[in-house]
Structure formats: structure tokens, C-alpha cells
Structure 1
Amino acid sequence: MRKIKAQLFISLDGVVEAPDQWHFPYFNDEMGAAVDATLGQADTLLLGRRTYDSFAGAWPGREAAGGEDAPFAKVLGDARKIVVSNRRLDFTWRNSEQADGGPAEAAAALRAEPDTGAPVWISGSVSVVRHLLAAGLLDELNLLVHPIAVRKGMRLFEEADASVPLELLSCETFRTGVLNLFYAPAAGPGAGTYEDAKTHLPQH
């Protein structure tokens, strides 16, 4: 069974929209290595339509231009790209295909494939990440938390009745102050009250 993992750039106040407007001042060699260790090793990408359109509008041209980001662009081009959309899509970027069904159906089908040794990666595609978290189909969530409060734009976790408990797997702090956090789904924390908590307060 294949695992499905997601990587998102996110601000301190939870904004994931338009990272191109606030992310690049924090991109250093550590961030480059973090992205290369995930998307740079991917053989399969699961993407929402908006993220796919953004990628397809930029990366093929960068690969063709042969600049310093051309090798990374080639990795993305060579990867199988599965796109979730409610409408029928036409593709010009190689190795692209449309998912059958919505995010949950696409993820379930991918998880059922033989393990290739590499996970399926989601980049951006917030609606897809939300669906898979809610359905219990996301194996790992990599958040690159930037030390900036953007204060406008879509946030990863929208208001809802159900909580999303997560387990921290690892944490790394970059020189820029970015936190590289890896989470996995977790069981709920259980019941707790202030009466329980105050037993852990210092006793003076």
C-alpha cells in the first residue's frame, strides 16, 4: 500500500493562500533541501486543479529554459501527476491525468497501488488536503511554518465542528526561523478539565 503525504507552506497565523507573496524571503538552502527531500524525490503527485494549473503554467517553461531550477522542473515533469477536478480537463504537461472521482476516491485508489518505495506527494492543493485529513486518508502532513502573520487569505483549517488531532513526528528549525514540522494523524487527546490540568501546575 502506498502512503500519501502533503507539504504546505504556511504562515504563523495559518494562512496557506498565495505563498508566492510572502514565502520567498525565507527560502534558503535549508528550505531547498526540505523541498528536494519531498517533492524532489516524488514519482507521483496528487494535485487539485488550481495548484496543477499554477504548476503547469510555470514548470514546463522553466525546464525548457535550462536554468538552475531546470533539474527540479524535470523531476516534476517526469512525475505522474493526478489531478482532482469537478470538470473535464485537457492536459499539455506530460504525464498528467485526471483522477476518477473526488479527492477521497483518488487517494483510496492510490493507496491501494503497490508500494514503489516513494510516497504520493501533495503540494499545495489545500482542498485536497482538507478532504484527506477528514477522511483519514493522509498519512503525513509536512508544514513549513513561516515566522510571519499574513493576516489575510485562506487558512489551512477552516471553521468546523470536528477537530483534527495530530501527532508531531519531527521538528527542525531553519536559520530563517521557519519550522519544518512533520505530523501524522492521531487519536483524540481524550477528556480533560481544568481540575486535571491544575495538578500539573507548580506548587508554591
Structure 2
Amino acid sequence: MRLTVTSFMTMDGVVQAPGGPEEDRRDGFDQGGWQVPYADDDMGEIIDARMAAAGAFLLGRHTYQIFAGYWPHISDDNPVARTLNGLPKYVASTTLTRPEPAWRHSTLLGPDPVAAVTELKAAEGGELQVFGSGGLVRFLLAHGLVDEFQVLVYPVVLGAGHRLFPDDGPATAFRLTGSRTTSTGVLALTYEPDGSPRYGSFLAEPEPEEQRIVR
């Protein structure tokens, strides 16, 4: 399975609590729900396309608990609920002994997450999709396990909140493979990892003194 990541992000890199005020109040965060005012049909199409490609989901503990507290209670008439409730879900956690709260088709990864994810990726059947799960995303990127990264950049700056990329994260280059702008100004960017960053300089190298004299 191809491992894909979808992240909802503000212009200043915040990914905390996009869906509601009570979603994630860690560290006193009180600006949850910043994603909601920008919902439109374009965003619905983007998410529906993501769901249609899913074969299974890989979630960090915190995102799993948020999802498991909500989606099982939504009717499967909702296509997102039908996909999330019906497909396998794998939980990466160092603190849980079993997925909690209980959610059908949920499995806790073993003690070696790199080996477990590598084994899942070797299976057939759609995409292995990651939503939210900032800590897990950073881990997957650091171990070269991400095949595609979709970041949805919202036209808002919060100035506080958990950011996806830490100051001490691994340096990584990406190659743009797709882009779309929604009617509310959300920029959907799709990237594939492209090795390490390359560096250069726009400053011309000064000529050696002896060459300037000859000329």
C-alpha cells in the first residue's frame, strides 16, 4: 500500500484542533475549529477523493481517540463515516495496550513501528492513509516511510498551537505533484518526498585578484 499523509495546516504551520474548540486543548490551546469556516464543496471533493483511494488508516494515539469518539456515532450514510468505520485502522502508540476507545477494525501496532508500517506498506489494497497524527507524521518522514504528503494550507495565522514540523526535524526536500485552490482560499498541495534539500547561492563568487588584474 502506498502511504499517504493528509495534514490541515494554518499559514504559520499550526495543525492543532482544526475541527472544533474541544478537539485538542493541550497546552491551553483555545483556538480550535479554525478549519470549519473554510468548508465548501471543493473541500468535500478533495476529502471524498482521498476516502475513495483508502485501503486502511494509520493513526497516532491522540488522533485515533478523537476519531474513535466521533465517527462510530455517525451513520454510514455519510461516505466519510462509512469509509472510516468500515476499513482497517492501525494505531501507533507507546502508551496504549489496546485501542481505546474501542472502534471496530482497529489494531494496535507492535513494538517495532518501522517494521510494522513497512509490512503494511507491502500489502495490496489502496492507500495506507494518515490524517492528523502530527507526532506520527514526523516519525514516518524521519524514517522515509511517506510516499505522498498532502498539505491543505488555510488562509489564517494563529500565532500559537502545535506545529507539524519542529525546529529540530530532519531536512527534507519535496517535489510538487498537484495543486488546487478551493473557493474559500484553501490551498491543497500534494508533494512526494525528494531526498535531501539541495543548496546553492545567488551571490556570484568573486574572481581571484590575479584574474581581475589580467583583464
Q: TM-score, normalised by structure 1?
A: 0.86
Q: How does 1:1-204 map to 2 (within 5 A)?
A: 2-20=1-19, 21-63=33-75, 70-86=78-94, 87-91=96-100, 92-113=102-123, 115-116=124-125, 118-160=126-168, 162-195=170-203
Deviation (angstroms), 1:125: 0.7
Q: Tell me, what secondary structure is at the counterpart of 1:181?
A: strand
**Paired residue type of 1:9:** F
Separation in 2, partners of 1:40, 1:57? 23
- Aligned-residue CA RMSD (Å): 1.8
Separation in 2, partners of 1:89, 1:120? 20
% of aligned pairs identical?
36
Q: Tell me, what secondary structure is at the counterpart of 1:132?
A: helix
Q: Tell me, what secondary structure is at the counterpart of 2:75?
A: helix
Separation in 1, partners of 2:104, 2:138? 27
- Contact 2:68/2:103, CA 8 A, preserved across alignment: yes
- Contact 2:3/2:145, CA 8 A, preserved across alignment: yes
Bigger shift: residues 101-110 or 169-178: 101-110
* Structure holding more helix per residue: 1
Separation in 2, partners of 1:56, 1:25? 24
1:29-79 Cα distance to aligned partner (Å, 9 max, x none): 000110111134422000011111111100111127x6xxx3321211001
Change (3 A) 1:188 1:54: same
Separation in 2, partners of 1:174, 1:35? 12
- Runs (4+) of structure 1 exceeding 3 A deviation are none
- Give the number of the structure whose alpha-carbon radius of gyration is greater: 2
Change (3 A) 1:151 1:74: same
Which ranges of structure 1 fall in alignment gaps of 5 or more residues? 198-204
Separation in 2, partners of 1:26, 1:185? 28
- Contact 1:40/1:76, CA 8 A, preserved across alignment: no
Change (3 A) 1:120 1:196: farther
Deviation (angstroms), 1:103: 4.0
Q: Tell me, what secondary structure is at the counterpart of 2:141?
A: helix
Separation in 1, partners of 2:63, 2:54? 16
Which ranges of structure 2 fall in alignment gaps of 5 or more residues? 20-32, 206-215
Separation in 2, partners of 1:50, 1:160? 22
Query: Which residue of structure 2 aligns with residue 200 of structure 1?
Result: none
**Paired residue type of 2:7:** L
